[in-house]
Structure 1
């Protein structure tokens, strides 16, 4: 049996077949990676596809949110509100340039938000007065107080209802400014990169609005509006001034002044953007350092009220218990 196996192994035909099989396996093993392509290129392609997919999802989310806000801000006016505001001529009585500026800073544009603002300033005082009267006279609150005090409380409720829309607009404007201020240094860096790469100012605003939306939707919206105004307004200076007016931030105003001077005198925009971007980053760092420096004084009172009593109880508790046990023993 062993002789037959040895004879079969030493057979020239078997040796040739074995060599051919080894050669085929080596050839396939060598050629297959080359046919499959560069793994680094395949990996980079997969990463690029995933990045494009994430960017598409992010843009879809931002577009949906922008449409929702635009629909909420620019929906068709209520005819009843508009008729009441026009008949009472509330625009002349309650609207000035400061009111319009506050509404623009809060992100409300057009006549519809102004109409709703004036209507609620008219209606809410009566609602506040009626609710306070029901609470005091019908539900029997403050029974020991005289009628004069109850009427004063009702008047204060009406006064609060009159200024409630102003407080709401101010709160929205503050939150919007904080969002824009937080993302502004990064937006300036992106603008600087786009301008230095050879893009025009309009293309730079459009590109930055697409990229900065993940960090601040408000700032992306302002850049889109500025890009549209740069394309349609007769004077580009008006578009920059509108950007500064809508945001209400000094840092944005300085950038717009630099862009206006660059348009007027032909100075390089990239140089001004680089200097102002550095100043914005330093300003943001200074604000963070101020908050960090103000933290210890703010923590003093909570530590005295909550931390130190617990610390004294943990340290002195066992000693007091031991002293009481020795005294009783």
Structure 2
């Protein structure tokens, strides 16, 4: 029995099988940590995620506090202006429907821009009057003029200060309308592509706002506001009418009317957008041709003042030099003959 056991243990096949088993066990035992995973690494990853989450929360809290502080500061500033405007009842005296429409077209929405507008219309006349009085009576400006003329200059300065906010709003509205008008045909083409691809009007407005922002920020802002109004207003027609009122452009108004009619009667939006996009491109081309046609009259005065004298100098310069040389040579010949 013992000899058989010893013989089995010394059998080469048995020894090979035993060594193979030990090698397999060692391999599995060695590779077990890599198969299970490093718990320290997993723990560190969890800690890192938790740290990032805490940082994000802290960042959001600090941003909210900063916004709250800035908002409180702005509210304090607007509160002082608002108190002055409300005490003097400037809205009833200076505000009408046209003023509100101009502020909307210029991009000023809400009560705070209106409050600032009225406050500056109240303050700037006194500022202009004081500056003109200091210049005329203290610094000696227009000293040779009579007192009546000096007083008239002060009144004109106050008048200019009173209408300076109106001029600023009008200039801002004009620039904003030009920016929207230049980008409007491209925006209609993009909207047509989005609608024909199966998007809804809201999705098309959102996509066009993302794409047209590099060309016109004002138009992208208007599309975002219209998309928001389509989401919460009870009547979609009101959102389109607000878009036309905020832009103040006939081309935008025609598109909004087409969208209103399409939603009311169920007509296809793509056909109306295609026609209106072609009209907008034609209008932009006509405007460019009109500017090109107006260039010759505008270039007449610069040509007379700058180009023609140089041209005359180039043409008549060599002739003048030849005439002067001939005259000089003629005088020398006459003196030598004498």
Task: Name the TM-score, length of structure 1 as normaliser.
Answer: 0.77
Alignment correspondent of 2:225: 225
Indicate yes or no: 2:303 matched with 1:309: no
* 1:243 counterpart SS class: helix
Q: How does 1:1-329 map to 2 (within 5 A)?
A: 75-76=74-75, 77-329=77-329
**What are the Cα deviations for residues 173-209 of structure 1, in whole angstroms up to 9, with x where unaligned?**
0000000000000000000000000001011101100
C-alpha deviation, 1:134, in angstroms: 0.4
Deviation at 1:153, TM superposition (A): 0.6
CA-CA distance at 1:75 after TM superposition: 4.9
Which is higher, the Rg of structure 1 or of structure 2?
Answer: 2
d(CA) in 2 for partners of 1:213, 1:80:
35
Q: Which residue of 1 aligns with 2:10?
A: none
- The 4+ residue runs of structure 1 with deviation greater than 4 A are none
Between the aligned partners of 2:200 and 2:117, the Cα distance in structure 1 is: 39
Q: What is the alpha-carbon distance in structure 1 between the residues aligned to residue 306 and residue 114 of structure 2?
A: 48
1-side partners of 2:307 and 2:101: how far apart?
A: 46
TM-score by structure 2 length? 0.75
Q: RMSD between aligned alpha carbons? A: 1.4
Q: CA deviation at 1:78?
A: 2.0
Report the alpha carbon displacement of residue 324 of structure 1 after superposing the two structures with TM: 1.1
Q: Distance in 2 between matches of 1:226 and 1:103?
A: 17
For residues 120 and 83 of structure 2, what CA distance do their matches in structure 1 show? 14
Unmatched 5+ stretches in structure 2:
1-69, 330-338
Distance change >3 Å, CA 161–CA 252, structure 1 → 2: same
Counterpart Cα distance in 2 of 1:173 and 1:141:
36
For residues 130-189 of structure 1, give each alpha carbon's deviation from its aligned partner in whole angstroms, at most 9, with x where no partner exists. 000000000001111100000001000000000000000000000000000000000000
Count matched residues.
258
Matches of 2:215 and 2:99, distance apart in 1: 28
Unaligned segments of structure 1, at least 5 residues: 1-70
Paired with 1:269 and 1:100, the residues of 2 have a C-alpha distance of 31
- Retained in 2: the 8 A contact 1:75–1:112? no
In 2, the alpha carbon distance for the partners of 1:207 and 1:273 equals 16
Deviation at 1:296, TM superposition (A): 1.0
Q: What is the DSSP-based 3-state SS (H/G/I as helix, E as strand, rest coil) of the residue aligned with 2:294?
A: helix
Structure 1 Cα separation of the partners of residues 274 and 158 of structure 2: 51
